[in-house]
Amino acid sequence: MTALLKREILLSIRAGGSALTGVLFFLAVVSVFPFAVGPDTKLLSHLAPAILWIGALLASLLGLDRLFAQEREDGSLDMLVMQSHPLALTIFVKALAHWIMTGLPLVLATPLFGVMLNLSPLGIGATMITLLAGTPAISFIGAVGAAVSVKLPRGGMLISVLVLPLVIPVLIFGVAAITGALEDPAPFTAPFLFVCAITLFTSVLGPLAASIMLRHSAD
């Protein structure tokens, strides 16, 4: 399994650097917002947690459509499925690698974009922690979408449509936790724990559901 993780990471570094592309997309989304809402610093800093979360959400969806489709096209999927390892574990590792190469760079880039959006240091810290806890869930839920649409020639759009509604809870609690950290009456811990719970829950359920899909979508 470490071999799989190593291969996935190697692949995403070689093939055009999906980590760079993800952060770049994040940067593009974040810098589009001030064009749309205007350069009002106060407004931007108020919106910053939401902007960062939406940017991270959209950037995390990148590359999900290739998660299994590419394996299927080059024939690797057959061999991945045939081995004695639990298929769910294989999928878990693939989703984890996807997160390491797209989600994690986003978390690391957050301070920079936070400063640009005039977010306070506390807010930046809270955003980073919630993103760290929340973005894995996107990869795990995304694995289900990727498995469902593995045979479709243009699964990319469909995956986004399928996955986005499912990750809304993560978004709700993630942004709620940041608000909780910044404004006094609102709590931080409760929504943050919800984010963690969703991630843990999906880390088991996502790969399991995806493994059932992949087993039966073989042709």
Tell me which residues touch other proteins (CB under 8 A). Answer: 2-4, 6-7, 10-11, 14-17, 20-21, 24, 27-28, 31, 34-35, 38-41, 44, 73-76, 78-85, 115-118, 216, 218-219
- Name the minimum Å distance from CB 34 to other proteins: 4
Q: Of 35 and 165, which has the nearer Cβ to other proteins?
A: 35
Q: Of 41 and 189, which has the nearer Cβ to other proteins?
A: 41
With CA atoms as reference, report the closest residue to 101 among 64, 73, 69: 64
**207 contacts 80 by C-beta, under 8 angstroms:** no
**217 contacts 147 by C-beta, under 8 angstroms:** yes
- Name the minimum Å distance from CB 154 to other proteins: 19
- Name the minimum Å distance from CB 40 to other proteins: 7
Q: Of 83 and 153, which has the nearer Cβ to other proteins?
A: 83
**5 contacts 101 by C-beta, under 8 angstroms:** no
- Name the minimum Å distance from CB 209 to other proteins: 18
Q: Of 134 and 207, which has the nearer Cβ to other proteins?
A: 207
**147 contacts 195 by C-beta, under 8 angstroms:** no
- Name the minimum Å distance from CB 194 to other proteins: 32
- Name the minimum Å distance from CB 90 to other proteins: 9
Provide CB contacts within 8 A for 189, sequence distance 6+: 180
Q: Of 103 and 134, which has the nearer Cβ to other proteins?
A: 103
Q: Of 24 and 172, which has the nearer Cβ to other proteins?
A: 24
Residue 108 CA to residue 18 CA, distance in Å, equals 15
Helical H runs in the chain? 2-14, 18-37, 41-61, 66-73, 76-82, 87-98, 104-116, 121-148, 155-182, 189-217
Residue 206 CA to residue 143 CA, distance in Å, equals 7
